[in-house]
Each structure stands twice: as C-alpha cells, then as structure tokens.
A = this chain, B = another copy of it.
C-alpha cells in the first residue's frame, strides 16, 4: 500500500531527505541517472538510496528496483531525469507510491513551447492531486552541502570534495548554479543549500528564499532570477531576510531588452520592469548585481569577512607596487568607490615607516624605510582599520619575494580590525602558494582587481541596505485623501492637475475656455503673460503637435495664438489658459503601478533632457523624506539643484515634499494608477517652491 504523507512534504525534508529514489539510475556516468547516483554516493549521502531501473538488479553495488512501486517506502524524494515522453507516467507512479517530492531534471517542457507547457501543466496537476511536491522541471536539482545530500546531476559535483559554508542559493538556471558553486569553491567559498528551481511548476523561487531565511546553516542568500511567479511575495521576503540579518544578493536577468526577451523565452515567465525590480531591491535592502561571478564572490565576502561598519566610507589601497596601487586607485571611481581621507592618527603611524612625501593613499609599501617590512605592513593596516573614514582595505598584490608569507599575515589583521580586507592576487602560477595560504586560513582572495572592486561595491550596497533597514516606516502627511469620484482612462491636463493638487502638489493657476472670449477673460483673471494650450483627450504630447503657446503678453497675442491653435490638425475641446510659470530647473516627477510589484515613483531631469539623459531615479511608494532626498542626490542634475557657477541653490525641500506627496497618491491609488507624469515641474530658488506646469495621467 502506498503511504500518503499527511501533509505536503516541507522543503526542509526535500532538501535533506531520509530516502532518495533515483528513477532511471544507471552505472553509466554519461547518463543523468548515472551521475545523480554517483554524486550522491561520492559526496557522502547518508540516507536510504533506492536506484530504480527495470533492467538492472544492482546498481553501484546497491539493490535496484524495477519501478518506484516496488521500492520500500517511505520515499521522501524521487529524482527524475527521464525523457519528456515518459515523464507524466513516472510522476504519476511516484504520486501513487506516496513519494514526498519529485525533483524533475527533465527539460523541454514549458521552456520549449506551448506543447511542453501543456505537458508540464498535466505533470504539475498530477503531483498536486496527490499532495506531492515538485522541484523543476528543467532544473538541476538540489545541492545540500550542509548535510552532504547532492540531489543533482550537475557537473559541478565532478570533484573530490565539495565545501560547506554559509552561502545559500536559489537559481532559475541550473547550469549557472553549478558553475557558480565551482567558481566559489576555487576561491574557498562554502555553500549551505543550492536549489535549482527550473520552470517552477510547483515550488518556486520565493518558497526556497523563505526556507533559506529560516535555515540555520545559511548566513547569506544569493538569487539568480529570471521571472517571479508571484512577485508580490518577493519584497516582503527580502525585508524578512534583512531583519534576520541575512544579506540577499541578486542577479536579475533582463536589464537589457535583448536579455529580457531571452529570459522570457528561457523560462516562459515575465521578467517585469528591471528598473522597478532594482528599486524594490534597494528599498528592501537587497543587493542587485549584473555579474553572477561577482554575486558569489560578494556573498563569500559577506560570509567570511567582517562587514563594512557603515555605508559611505572610503577605502585604503596598499601594496608593495606603485603600479598596482595606482591602477587600482584609477579603477575605484567606475565602481562608485573612493579612497579614504586618512585621519591624523593614521598619518602619524604611517610617518613612522616611510618618508613624509610618500604618506598618502594609495600606499606603496616599497617606500618603507626598511623596504617592504612585514611589521610596517601590519602597523599600517592596523591604523587603517581604526580610521574613521576607512571602511575597507584593498591589497592588490604583485609578484614579489615572500608573497605567500605576506598573504598569511592578512587574515588575522582583518579579523582583529573588524573590517573587510580584499586581497587580490593577479598573478598566475607564481601566485598559487599565496592563494593556498589564504584558502587554508579560510580567507577569500580575488584573481582580479575588477572582481575585488565589484565585491567591495556590493559590500557597500549591503551596508547601505543595512542602514536603511533601521529607518522607521514612511509617515503619512496629514490631510491626504483620494477624491470621492476619480476620473478614468486618459485624464485631461486639468483633471490630472486637480488630482495632484488634492495631494498638496503645487500646480499652475489655469482655466478652461471653450471660446476666444472666455480665454481672454481667463487670461485677464490670471494675469498676463499666459500660456495657451489646446485641450484634446486624444493628444498626449501637446508640444509635439504645436499645441502649446508660451509667453502671450496681451489679449492681442492671445487671440492670435487661439486662432492658430484652432487651425491645428486635431479637433480641440477647448483651450487651457495658464499662468506663465518660471523656474531655475526642470524636473520630471512620475508615478506608476507595476503589476505584481506595487506602486512606484520617479524623479528625474525633466524637459527635453528626459529622453536624452535618462537621468531618472525610481523607488517604491510611499517614500520617507530622506528617501526622496537620496533620490535627488543620485541624479546627475544634483549639482544644479545645489547651485553651480554662481546660480542659486534651488528649493530641494519643495521637490522632496512634492515627491513624498506624489508617492502617497501612488500608494493610495494602487492598481488604479496606470501612470502619471508631471513634466516639467519647475524648481525655483531655495524658499520659492516648485510648480507643476504640465501633467498627464491614466487611471484604470
């Protein structure tokens, strides 16, 4: 009789099963089923192992069974690498036998097109009906290094020994996961559990993320994401990880249009807006990266090195080569890093070891009075680690005598100082002894300066996320409430402005006028000079069609402009007479609801520069004032807001206020908000506020 588990098998049991059946087990290492059983044995699986193969009585010295039904239960996990054609039958057999979960390595399902997707749906339905869980299909399984359970056919297991450690991983690409584990191992990194989720027919990335947050063996979490099944779960989980003190690092496919398109065809899931995803990660304190190699190396640094004391500190670059320290320094800025400004105590210590003329960062220990003394090296690094502005030390080593001995000095210095020290060994073979010493000391190293600086950039982002997690939640400004009746569809400029004005965002005074006479009366009430705009629900970009006339100084000019507008190629509902507002800089403020991810606001350089500079910052709504300020500071336009070349400092606080209020409007509208743009919103000198001169919005 098959034993049906009372409840669906928890992930902790799937990751660390008491019993594993390998469907299609084989003695042939060229076959998936051959490798799976080989790796389970080689890497010390300690549970019950059940090879399933109708044509063999013994496989790898173990008794084999002709089918899952014949295997003695209970079976926690069955691993299937069978052809797609027999998959449904095998999964049904597992379900009938009461297997807890199937890990389905078989591919060519939803990833291969509609036919495969239909088969995948039937497989998932069969499992669901039986209360059996699925990992995959189109996955490479699970590497549980903490318990020695390698439930995978990944070639990354083609080694003598795997290394357990604190890095957990969830990946939508099995091949990439195996590659990253192998890359990490070479650098001495250790992993807890690595789960390839494949097409996520049942268990999905967020399920595993949740498991890793609770998992005691996991200290740092890495994610390779192509598309989320349930995006709404993601940000709350990132925040939970942050609260649990576990940094999350993430590579998200699809930053480029070509990448996004390929990711869609790879796992048949929607990639979503990369910019929104990035903003969400930042807000939730996770670190979003482009390069999967840097993700693993940075996770290892967070696992094995002290963390940065706080975001925004500088770094020290020190080595016994002017060439390597100078070129490393030149590469800092492109990684968003800077040298530390050494304090007086640090300088005093350095002066003991070298001539005053060489007391600067980067520091060339070749300038030491006694050559590159080990005492001097230690003393300088200790001084850096106590310096208020030095968060990390980068050591770009070159070939030189006693490399390995020098390398061995560093781990205790970093641990004692409590700050990350990034050791770079660029050399090939002659650097291997030094690498080995660090591997033995359980300390990371990097083969290239670019990798080390990429890692440091990630550590900086982690520290920033840690700092943000300590902030109180955004506080709602008083008196904000949505109007009773909201317009729908593409709003007119007037409707859009009324909506934002209700949330306290300043807009230009204006009046709708159906006739020329009404327009003149409106202009006289508002005061010349005025702006005249043609009103048509059909037109989004009015200036593209010549429907905007600026600086009308008197009634005569107004009448001429009115006549010209009426001659426009689109039928107008009337005109808008508007005060002629002036400001020192043009911003764009925007808001939109991202399906599955929630409300977002953006701020950027406005006017014609929007498309040219693409100088835009995005964040999930609502915002704290400090979030809004940080967004403005990240703009290329920021120096203009502070006042350049004798121009006045602008009213940054007015922009912050408008952005915060817009973020609450976006939050309150929720999914009803398709999009809303204020472009431009004119920013005036400090104390003089800002004003939105154009607005457009679409509500669902």
Q: Within 8 Å of chain B (Cβ to Cβ): is A395?
A: no
Chain B residues with CB under 8 Å of A322's CB are: 111, 173, 226, 262-263, 266-267
Q: Does A159 contact B (CB under 8 A)?
A: yes
Cα distance A261–B107 in the bound complex, in angstroms = 57
- The interface size of chain A toward B, counting residues with CB under 8 Å, comes to 104
Contact indicator A330/B612 (Cβ below 8 Å):
no
Q: Assess whether B400 is in contact with A258, with CB atoms less than 8 Å apart.
A: no
**Contact A291:B187 (CB < 8 A) given known A254-B326, A323-B253, A327-B251:** no
| Contact across chains for A326 and B259 when beta carbons are under 8 A apart | yes
Q: How far is the CB of A547 from chain B (nearest CB, A)?
A: 11
CB contact list, A234-272 vs B, under 8 A:
251, 253-256, 258-259, 261-263, 265-267
Q: How far is the CB of A294 from chain B (nearest CB, A)?
A: 8
- Complex contacts, A256 vs chain B, CB 8 Å: 329-330, 332-333
Contact with B along A109-135 (1 / 0, CB 8 A): 001110000000000000000000000
Whether the Cβ atoms of B428 and A330 lie closer than 8 Å is no
**A399 to B172, Cβ gap below 8 A?**
no
Contact digits for A307-321, partner B, Cβ 8 Å, 1 yes 0 no = 000000000000011
Cβ of A50 under 8 Å from chain B: no
A325 within 8 A of B: yes
A484 touches B (CB below 8 Å): no
**CA of A290 to CA of B266, assembled, Å:** 35
Give the CA-CA distance A30 to B331 in the complex, in Å.
Answer: 33
* Complex: A127 Cα to B639 Cα, angstroms: 55
When all copies of this chain in the complex are counted, the total is 2
Quote the shortest CB–CB distance from A591 to chain B (angstroms). Answer: 21
**A442 near B: Cβ within 8 Å?**
no
Q: Is the CB of B398 within 8 A of A611?
A: no
Complex Cα gap A70–B360 (Å): 46
Segment 52-96 of A: residues with Cβ below 8 Å from B: none
**Is the Cβ of B612 less than 8 Å from the Cβ of A323?**
no
Contact B155 A449 (CB under 8 A): no
A155: chain B residues at CB < 8 Å are 399-401, 403, 430
| B262 and A364 contact, CB distance less than 8 A | yes
Instruction: Report if A630 contacts B (CB, 8 A).
Output: no
Considering the complex, which residues of chain A in the window 399-416 have a beta carbon less than 8 Å from any beta carbon of chain B?
A: 399-401, 403
**CB-defined contacts of A367 to chain B, threshold 8 Å:** 111-112
A8-46, CB under 8 A of B: which get 1 and which 0?
000000000000000000000010000000000000000
Taking the closest CB of chain B, its distance from the CB of A133, in whole angstroms, is 23
Chain B's closest residue to A261 (CB) is B360
Q: Chain B interface: which of A511-519, A643-651, A667-675?
A: A643-651
| A175–B324 CB distance below 8 A | yes
Decide: A291 and B175 in contact? CB cutoff 8 A. no
Cβ-defined contact, B448 with A399, below 8 A: no
Of all chain B residues, the one with the shortest Cβ separation from A638 is: B612
Rounded to whole angstroms, the CA-CA distance of A293 and B428 in the bound complex is 11
Query: Do A358 and B326 touch across chains, with their CB atoms under 8 A apart?
Result: no
Spot the interface stretch: A176-184, A298-306, A529-537, A559-567: A176-184
Binding site for B on A (CB under 8 A): 30, 107, 111-113, 154-156, 158-159, 171-180, 182-187, 224, 226, 251, 253-256, 258-259, 261-263, 265-267, 290-294, 320-327, 329-334, 339, 355, 357-358, 360-362, 364, 366-367, 397-401, 403, 426-431, 447-451, 454, 541, 543-545, 608, 611-613, 636-637, 639-640, 644-647
Identify 20 residue pairs between A and B in the complex whose beta-carbon atoms are under 8 Å apart, listed by A's number. Answer: A30-B401, A156-B399, A175-B398, A182-B430, A183-B426, A183-B427, A184-B428, A185-B429, A253-B326, A253-B330, A254-B326, A258-B362, A263-B326, A266-B323, A266-B326, A267-B322, A291-B331, A450-B450, A608-B644, A611-B639
